Chains A and B, each alone.
Chain A
Amino acid sequence: MAPIIELRNVTKYFGSGRDQVTAVDSISLDIEPGEIVCLVGESGCGKSTTGRMVVGLLPPSEGQILYQGQDISAMDKADYQQYRRAVQIIHQDPYASLNPTQTVRQMIAAPLLRHQAQRSSGSANGSGRRERRRDVERRAAELLEIVDLTPVAEFLDKYPHQLSGGQRQRVSVARALTVEPKFIVADEAVSMVDVSIRVSLLNMLSRLKDEFDVTFLFITHDLALAKYFAWEGRITVMYLGRIVEEGPTPRLITDSRHPYTQALLGAVPEADPELAKKKVHLELRSAEIPSLLNLPTGCTFHPRCPYIVEGECDTAVPLLEHISDGGSVACPVRKSEPSLIV
Chain B
Amino acid sequence: MSQATDLSWHQNIDENGSQPPLSLQDVHVSYRTRKGSVQAVRGVTLDLKAGESLALIGESGSGKTTLGLGIVRLLVETAEVSPGKIIYRRDGRELDVLSLADGPLREFRWRDCAMVFQSALNAFNPVLKVWDQVWDTAKAHRWNNREEVRERFLDLLRFVQLDPARVIDSYAHELSGGMRQRTLIAISLLLDPQILILDEPTTALDILTQRTIIDLLRRLKEDLHFTMLFISHDLAIAAELADRVATMYAGQVVELGPVEDIFYRPRHPYSLGLIRAVPTVTGGFEELSSIPGSPPDLINLPAGCKFHPRCPYASERCSNEEPQLERVGDNHFAACWHTDAVEEDIERNGLRVRRST
Contact = CB atoms under 8 A, between A and B. Distances in A.
A164 to B, nearest CB: 5
Contacts of A42: 206-208
Interface size class of chain B, counting residues whose CB lies under 8 Å from the partner chain: 35 or more
Contact of A289 (B176, B214, B233): B176
Nearest to B276: A199
A319 interface: no
B137 to A, nearest CB: 26
B60 to A, nearest CB: 6
A110 interface: no
B55 to A, nearest CB: 11
B18 interface: no
A211 interface: no
B202 interface: yes
A308 interface: no
Nearest to A201: B290
A223 B238 CA distance: 19
A235 to B, nearest CB: 11
Contacts of B281: 223-224, 227, 253, 265, 268, 270
B262 to A, nearest CB: 9
Nearest to B355: A231
Nearest to B357: A231
Interface in A192-237: 194-203, 221, 223-225, 227-228, 231
A272 interface: yes
Nearest to A196: B291
Given A194-B59, A194-B295, A198-B290, A268 B283 contact: no
B285 interface: yes
Contacts of B260: 273
Nearest to B245: A273
Nearest to A43: B206
Contacts of A165: 60
B173 interface: no
Contacts of A223: 207, 281
A172 B337 CA distance: 38
B290 A200 contact: yes
Given A196-B291, A265-B281, A276 B236 contact: yes
B303 to A, nearest CB: 21
Contacts of B237: 269
Interface in B297-346: none
A273 B208 contact: no
A288 interface: yes
A230 B214 CA distance: 27
Nearest to B178: A287
Given A197-B290, A276-B236, A265 B295 contact: no
Interface string B272-306: 01110111111101101111101100000000000
Interface residues of A, number: 46
B291 A197 contact: yes
Contacts of B210: 267, 269
A281 B282 contact: no
B239 A271 contact: yes
B282 A271 contact: no
Contact of B292 (A200, A231, A253): A200
A196 B311 CA distance: 12
B123 to A, nearest CB: 20
Interface in A319-342: 341-342
Most B CB contacts (10 A, CB to CB) among A265, A266, A287 go to: A287
A152 interface: no
Contacts of B179: 288
B38 interface: no
B119 interface: no
23 contacts: A194-B295, A196-B273, A197-B290, A198-B277, A199-B277, A202-B288, A228-B286, A231-B285, A231-B355, A250-B285, A266-B211, A267-B207, A267-B210, A267-B211, A268-B236, A270-B280, A271-B234, A271-B238, A271-B280, A272-B280, A281-B211, A288-B178, A289-B208
Interface of B: 1, 59-60, 161, 176, 178-179, 202, 206-212, 214, 233-240, 259-260, 263-264, 273-275, 277-283, 285-286, 288-292, 294-295, 355, 357
Given A224-B278, A271-B238, A273-B263, 19 more contacts: A164-B294, A195-B233, A196-B273, A198-B290, A203-B290, A223-B207, A231-B357, A250-B285, A250-B357, A264-B207, A268-B281, A268-B282, A270-B281, A270-B282, A271-B239, A271-B280, A287-B1, A287-B212, A288-B178
Of all A-B residue pairs in the complex, the 3 with the closest CB atoms, nearest first, are: A269-B236, A267-B211, A199-B290
